[in-house]
A and B are shown apart, each in its own frame.
Chain A
Amino acid sequence: MSVINEMRLEFTATSENEAFARLAVSGFMLPLDPTMEELADVKTAVSEAVTNAIIHAYAGKPGMVHMSAAYDGTGELTIQIVDHGCGIVDVQRARQPFFTTSDSEERSGMGFTVMESFMDGVDVTSVPGEGTTVRMSKRILLRDDAFPQQA
C-alpha cells in the first residue's frame, strides 16, 4: 500500500468522543468520495472499536485512545484504534457473536461481529495488562470522477 494520505489522533477515553471519532474519520475519507453506505459502514465500525476502548479497556479510568487512518490511490482505507487499557485475555473468544464481559451495562456482545460485517478485514492484537490494537481495512470503490489527487 503506497499511502497518499494519513492522519493520527489522540483523545481522552470518554463517551463524548465516540461521536468525535466517527466525525473525524468521515471527514478524513471524504476525498475518496464514499457512498452513503460506505460511510455508514466505516463510521459504525469505528464507533464499535472506539466504544470498546472507552468502556472495556479503561472502564472509567483515565486514558487515551489513539486513532490513525490512511488510504492509498486504489481507495484501500485502513484504520487503527489503539488503547493502553486492560487488554483481552482470549481474543478469539471475545470476537464470538454475543460474547460480552459486561453485564451491568446493556451490551449485546455484537461489536466485533458488526466490525467484521462492515469492513473487509479486522485484525485484533491484545496483551493483557498492556492494551489492544484493532486494525481494520476497507476498499472504497473509486468512481471515475473522484480519484483522489496523487501528490
Chain B
Amino acid sequence: MLCFETKKNTLTVRLSGELDHSAAKDIRRELDALIVQTDARKLVFDLKGLDFMDSSGIGLVIGRYKLMKRRGGSVAVSGTDAHIDQIFKMAGLYQLVERLA
C-alpha cells in the first residue's frame, strides 16, 4: 500500500504491508506517475509501516534514485528497521540515498 504527501518540492511516500516482487510492480507504476505529476525534487520513502521487505526493495529504491537523478532530484529513506537496514547496507544503498531517522 502507498500513501503520499507533498510539501514544497518534497514527495513523501509511505509504504505499508509487504514489499516483495509482486507488490513492487504496482508500487513502481504508481510512484513513477506521482513523481512526474508532482514534479518533486526530493523523494522520501517512509518505510516505518512495512511489515516485510526483500531484495525487491533495493530494486525499487535504486530505480527511483536513477529516475530522480535524471530529473535533477534526490532520494532519501526513513523509518527503516534493523532488518531493512541490513538489506540496504548489503547493497551499498546508503552511498546513493540519504538515510533519515
Q: What is the interface of chain A, defined by CB distance below 8 A to chain B?
A: 15-16, 18-19, 22, 37, 40-41, 43-44, 47-48, 51, 54-55, 97-98, 105-108, 110-111, 113-114, 117
Partner of B52, one of A43, A110, A114: A43
The 16 listed contacts between A and B (C-beta, < 8 Å) are A15-B20, A44-B53, A47-B52, A48-B54, A51-B20, A51-B56, A97-B90, A98-B91, A106-B28, A106-B63, A107-B55, A107-B59, A108-B55, A110-B55, A110-B58, A113-B90
Interface size class of B (residues with CB under 8 A): 20 to 34
Known contacts A106-B62, A110-B91; 10 additional CB pairs below 8 A are: A22-B20, A22-B52, A44-B87, A47-B52, A51-B21, A51-B54, A97-B90, A106-B28, A111-B54, A114-B87
**For chain B residues 1-36, which have a beta carbon within 8 Å of chain A?**
18, 20-22, 24-25, 28
Q: CB-CB < 8 A to B38: which residues of A? A: none
Please report whether the interface of chain A is mostly helix, strand, loop or mixed according to DSSP.
helix
Q: How far is the CA of A40 from the CA of B63 in the complex (A)?
A: 24
Q: How far is the CA of A114 from the CA of B60 in the complex (A)?
A: 16
| B63–A18 touching, CB < 8 Å | no
B83 within 8 A of A: yes
| A19–B20 touching, CB < 8 Å | yes
Please report whether the interface of chain B is mostly helix, strand, loop or mixed according to DSSP.
helix
Q: Contacts A48-B54, A117-B86, A117-B90 given; indicate if A108 touches B59 (C-beta within 8 A).
A: yes
| A54–B90 touching, CB < 8 Å | no
Q: CB-CB < 8 A to A111: which residues of B? A: 54-55
| A16–B90 touching, CB < 8 Å | no
Q: CB-CB < 8 A to B22: which residues of A? A: 15-16, 18-19
| A47–B62 touching, CB < 8 Å | no
Q: CB-CB < 8 A to A108: which residues of B? A: 55, 58-59, 62, 91
Q: CB-CB < 8 A to B56: which residues of A? A: 51
Identity of the chain A residue whose Cβ is nearest the Cβ of B60 in the assembled complex: A106
Q: How far is the CA of A40 from the CA of B87 in the complex (A)?
A: 12
Q: CB-CB < 8 A to A15: which residues of B? A: 20-22, 25
Q: How far is the CA of A40 from the CA of B22 in the complex (A)?
A: 18
Per-residue A-contact encoding for B42-68, CB less than 8 Å = 1, 0 else? 000000000011111011101100000
Q: CB-CB < 8 A to B60: which residues of A? A: 106
Q: CB-CB < 8 A to B55: which residues of A? A: 48, 107-108, 110-111, 114
